Amino acid sequence: MVGTCLLILIFAIISIAFSLDDPLCVVKSCPQNTKCRVIQDCTQNKACTLTAECLESPPKFSHVGVCRFGDPILEMTNSTLDDTRCGPGLPCPSGTYCNTELMDTYATCCRSDPAQPVKPGNCPVVTDSDAGFCVDTCSNDGDCRHNDKCCQAGCSKRCLMPQVEDPCAKKTCIIGKYCQRPSMPRCQGPGQCWEIGDCVPCPLIRNCQLKCSQGFSTDTRGCPVCQCKVVTRESLLVYIYPYYKHKGPH
């Protein structure tokens, strides 16, 4: 339990450094002795609305720092303001999404990125989906951390790693070079970095005393290594067939 609480605290501290103000709070401009929080108002017989309020005593147990924009949306529960809860059957209001990053406690509604940025890459095709958890955990790419994109995955949206096109699938580099694929480290040292799809010089084979009649073996990149090729029946036939054809059978 102590470890879980410590992990949540560390996560909150890190998140605060990257959290931006909620757009409604930017417009509200609360006094210094108050805290601006966005509250979900569902008192009327119509769709719930979001309003910004300047609170002198914000909820003590709200998960401040978990949202990328502002703090969790609040709602009135038993005459007390508390974080919204979301999940199957409890959708978040428009303009927000269900943040499940602290699922060991509870999921709460966070403001979606108003800029609605589009990150590079394509969403992967998802064949499996958790039909029991049909809740959008993002609304657009800006709600996802790092390079993840907000993708449709079955009955809901969630943050997934994008598919990156591999230009090496349609490219052939000259002998002595290999194609830089997305899965490979981009840098080999200071000033030795390449972009995906570049033809990168193979490292030199140093201190290799082998003399290989069939040439050196190659690694997964296609670069030679200090190891002789394994002579197979097929490769031997390819090697001796031109000589045999020229001389003819005895």
In the chain, what are the domain boundaries? 7-160, 166-201, 204-250
pLDDT of the residue at 6: 46
Interval 186-191 mean pLDDT: 82
pLDDT of the residue at 112: 92
Structural contact between residues 65 and 17, judged by C-beta atoms closer than 8 angstroms:
no
State yes or no: pLDDT of 141 exceeds 90: yes
CA dihedral sign, ordered 133, 136, 141, 146: negative
State yes or no: pLDDT of 186 exceeds 90: no
Pairing of strands 149-153, 156-160: antiparallel
Strand ranges (DSSP E) for 3-112?
Answer: 35-41, 49-55, 74-77, 80-83, 96-99, 108-111
pLDDT of the residue at 177: 93
88: confidence class by pLDDT, cuts 50, 70, 90: confident
Structural contact between residues 148 and 163, judged by C-beta atoms closer than 8 angstroms:
no
What is the value of pTM for the model shown? 0.59
Q: What is d(CA 207, CA 35) in angstroms, rounded to the nearest whole number?
A: 67
Q: How far is CA 32 from the centre of its chain?
A: 36
159: confidence class by pLDDT, cuts 50, 70, 90: very high
